[in-house]
Chains A and B, each alone.
Chain A
Amino acid sequence: MTELEAGRAETLVPARDGAALHRYRDVLIALVAFAVLASLPLLSGSKALLDFVIRCSAYGLFATSLNLLVGYTGLTSFGHGMFFGLGAYSFGLIMQKLGVPIPVAFIATLAITAVIAAVIGAICVRLKEIYFAFVTLAFQMLIHSTILSWASFTGGDQGLRGGIPRPTFLGINLADHVHLYIASCALLILGLLAMRQIAQSPFGYTLRMIRDNAARASFLGIDVWRAKLTVFVLAALFASMGGMVMALFVSGAYPEFAYWTISGEGIFINMLGGVSTFLGPMVGTVLLLLLNDTVTRFTEYHGIVLGVVILFFALGLRKGLLDFTAEWFAHRRDAGEGR
């Protein structure tokens, strides 16, 4: 719905200028958002608040990358969490065993993720709908089982313990809480900006066409398999970034990071925030983490509370919060214009 509105607005300006304008606007918004987040430690001394934002960065990167698959391409992955876990474990293992500088480990982890995602994706993306969902789930559980059974390398069900070394690089000391906070925010904003560019690029519109009518896209000469594989690998990279932020934050990696529930939460976050607006998953992330934190404080039966909230969104609103709001505003504007 909102894409349609945007499309209508864009026809007023010549297309190329419109795209450039949008790009400048996105960069500007990103800079402002980063400035606001970065000034937070100056305004408030609350460590809990900074921790909350770091967790939001990790899950936000993961959930938004999942939406590249679910919302933009129509690929319902049930195993996207494997790349979150893969990022956390690869990064942690490289830092623990090789002791290389953090940026090197970061790049190496992205490279490892890209290779594994390309192999898994090549198998998965030719399957449709429910079969795609289950084969991704199977791969996720395969990786989870491997982590559990390869105890000599991964620490098994104990996880990667002993802390992840965080040597200073370029004057950045990630062992320092505020430095880690700023770095997480920077990764989040950069990741979101990159994903926004992907979503708004011609490739992003190709993905939407594949979602809406794969046969038509194929007739128009698009290699659907290759486009799906590309977005699968790209989404995996950003999920892996989220995993790295998480590994840095908890200074370790645990099998739960690669368990199917991470994927389930990712889907839930997307549904909570909305899948047809770019920032929907971010809104969902903040909502879910807030909900988790407050509910667990009041009752040990948070499954019931969470379940009822999900039911409210699924049966009541029938869409995520940001989607709902965006449509409500669009509807009101249309009514105002007398249409």
Chain B
Amino acid sequence: MDLDALAGCLSSSSCLVTQTTSGLIIGMLLFLVAVGLTLIFGVLKIVNFSHGAFYMFGAYFAMTAYQLTGSFALAMLAGAAGTAILGLIFERVFMSRVYGADVLMQLLVCYAFVLIFDDVVRLIWGPEFRSMGMPAAFQVMPLFIAGGVVPPYYLLLIGVALVAAIVLGIGLSRSRIGKVIRAAAHNPGMVSALGINTGLIYGGVFALGGMLAGLAGALAAPVRSLTPGMGFSVLIESFIVTVIGGMGSILGALIGALLLGLIRSYGSLGFPLFTEGLMYLFMVIVLVSKPTGLFGKEAA
């Protein structure tokens, strides 16, 4: 415990800006992963334990595309599109077989793929740590806000995640496809009776969730190191986010992710060894006081 460091930071504007920004980027990346998780749970009623693997694949796809083409935009596209396709195949070939089965069976299929995917990555990209490196376009002078240092790439990252949040929120509540998806979540039998292909919707939602996780991985690739198994800690954290926010709630995922990002970034100052413990403690406190999470609706 180092409460002096925490107090010192809270009274310095430059430290506040730095820590808040780093909390925000952690939160935004987490949001992208968690919102996919919460969407898949909300519509398919599946707890996708292999979601972290899509984050990992997004990062590796982006790194490979960047090394081949040198284009940052293509790297992001490869991360997002590659994982979308992977998600679609995964859902249609494997997950669709365990719909309506025991929750344990679904978890087990996902667990199997966590093991398989981690080894596939080790086979293709090797077991060691890899890094993509910061693209040249962002190797510019950092911004100084109230004395705090903010790399421009962080702003891009926060911006992309915010745009994704807004598009998703509006898309689901206003567009026709969004309404069909919400209807399918509520009553798949009725939607299917109206002549809409629910299999297509399920596949689409899973692909969308995979894509968001892949995009998060691709966005994280320049600032984090890549390793097989990197998806796991992200998975656990995004589970905490979805549970804190309420499974199935997009707004909950956003608020939960930001809270967790800030806990991580300020917690690393005050409780350097117990930062992870703080997150779990926070989750326990939220669940004890409100078992469905902050924005969850269904009765627990």
A contacts, CB < 8 Å to B: 70, 76, 123, 126-131, 134-135, 137-139, 141-142, 145-146, 148-149, 151, 260, 264, 267-268, 271, 275, 301-304, 306-308, 310-311, 313-315, 318
Contact partners of B196 in chain A: CB under 8 A? none
Residue of chain A at shortest CB distance from B271: A149
Interface flag for B292 (CB, 8 Å): yes
Contact partners of A130 in chain B: CB under 8 A? 47, 103, 247
Contact between chains at B115 and A139 (CB < 8 Å)? no
Shortest A66–chain B CB gap in Å is 11
Shortest B173–chain A CB gap in Å is 25
Contact partners of A151 in chain B: CB under 8 A? 273
**Which of B104, B115, B283, B291 contacts A271 (CB under 8 A)?**
B104
**Interchain Cβ contacts under 8 Å between A and B, 22 examples:** A123-B288, A130-B47, A130-B103, A131-B243, A131-B300, A135-B283, A137-B236, A138-B280, A138-B287, A141-B276, A141-B277, A142-B284, A267-B107, A268-B108, A268-B111, A301-B123, A302-B119, A303-B116, A308-B112, A310-B109, A311-B94, A311-B112
Shortest B142–chain A CB gap in Å is 32
Interface centre among B108, B273, B287 (most CB of A within 10 A): B108
Contact partners of A141 in chain B: CB under 8 A? 236, 276-277, 280
> CA A310 – CA B105 in complex, angstroms?
10
Shortest A16–chain B CB gap in Å is 35
Interface centre among B104, B115, B274, B276 (most CB of A within 10 A): B115
Contact partners of B280 in chain A: CB under 8 A? 138-139, 141-142, 145
Contact between chains at A145 and B292 (CB < 8 Å)? no
Shortest B91–chain A CB gap in Å is 14
Per DSSP, are chain A's interface residues mostly helix, strand or loop, or mixed?
helix
Shortest A263–chain B CB gap in Å is 11
B277-299 interface bits toward A, Cβ cutoff 8 Å, 1 = contact, 0 = none: 10011011001100110000000
Contact partners of B6 in chain A: CB under 8 A? none
> CA A313 – CA B281 in complex, angstroms?
35
Residue of chain A at shortest CB distance from B281: A142
Contact between chains at A146 and B277 (CB < 8 Å)? yes
> CA A6 – CA B188 in complex, angstroms?
39
> CA A314 – CA B103 in complex, angstroms?
11
Interface flag for B98 (CB, 8 Å): yes
> CA A263 – CA B94 in complex, angstroms?
24
Shortest B281–chain A CB gap in Å is 6
Contact between chains at A271 and B108 (CB < 8 Å)? yes
Shortest A144–chain B CB gap in Å is 8
Shortest B9–chain A CB gap in Å is 20
> CA A301 – CA B98 in complex, angstroms?
26
> CA A137 – CA B279 in complex, angstroms?
12
> CA A304 – CA B124 in complex, angstroms?
13
Contact between chains at B115 and A307 (CB < 8 Å)? yes
> CA A128 – CA B293 in complex, angstroms?
13
Contact partners of A137 in chain B: CB under 8 A? 236, 239
Q: Which 6 A-B pairs have the closest CB atoms?
A: A145-B277, A307-B116, A149-B273, A310-B112, A303-B115, A303-B119
Interface flag for B166 (CB, 8 Å): no
Q: How large is the interface on B (under 10, 10 to 19, 20 to 34, 35 or more residues)?
A: 35 or more
**Which of A149, A260, A271, A311 contacts B236 (CB under 8 A)?**
A260
Interface flag for B179 (CB, 8 Å): no
Contact between chains at A315 and B291 (CB < 8 Å)? no
Shortest B112–chain A CB gap in Å is 4
Contact between chains at B287 and A131 (CB < 8 Å)? yes
> CA A138 – CA B111 in complex, angstroms?
18
Contact between chains at A123 and B284 (CB < 8 Å)? yes
Shortest A226–chain B CB gap in Å is 18
Interface flag for B240 (CB, 8 Å): yes
Contact between chains at A313 and B291 (CB < 8 Å)? no
Residue of chain B at shortest CB distance from A156: B273
Contact between chains at B283 and A138 (CB < 8 Å)? yes
**Which of A70, A123, A310 contacts B115 (CB under 8 A)?**
A310
Residue of chain A at shortest CB distance from B243: A134
> CA A115 – CA B291 in complex, angstroms?
23
Shortest B246–chain A CB gap in Å is 10
> CA A167 – CA B101 in complex, angstroms?
51
> CA A233 – CA B244 in complex, angstroms?
26
Contact partners of A264 in chain B: CB under 8 A? 111
Contact between chains at B277 and A142 (CB < 8 Å)? yes
Shortest A239–chain B CB gap in Å is 18
Shortest B59–chain A CB gap in Å is 18
Contact between chains at B108 and A127 (CB < 8 Å)? no
Contact partners of B243 in chain A: CB under 8 A? 131, 134-135
Contact between chains at A131 and B108 (CB < 8 Å)? no
Contact partners of A142 in chain B: CB under 8 A? 277, 280-281, 284
> CA A185 – CA B116 in complex, angstroms?
34
Contact between chains at A315 and B97 (CB < 8 Å)? yes
Shortest B126–chain A CB gap in Å is 12
Interface flag for B113 (CB, 8 Å): yes
Contact partners of B271 in chain A: CB under 8 A? 149
Interface flag for B186 (CB, 8 Å): no
> CA A271 – CA B105 in complex, angstroms?
8
Contact between chains at B111 and A310 (CB < 8 Å)? yes
> CA A123 – CA B116 in complex, angstroms?
35
Known: A76-B103, A131-B300, A142-B284. A313 touches B108 (CB 8 A): yes
Shortest A147–chain B CB gap in Å is 10
Interface centre among B112, B273, B291 (most CB of A within 10 A): B112
> CA A307 – CA B97 in complex, angstroms?
16
Contact between chains at A126 and B108 (CB < 8 Å)? no
Shortest A111–chain B CB gap in Å is 23
Shortest A84–chain B CB gap in Å is 18
Contact partners of B101 in chain A: CB under 8 A? 318
Residue of chain B at shortest CB distance from A309: B112
> CA A268 – CA B94 in complex, angstroms?
18
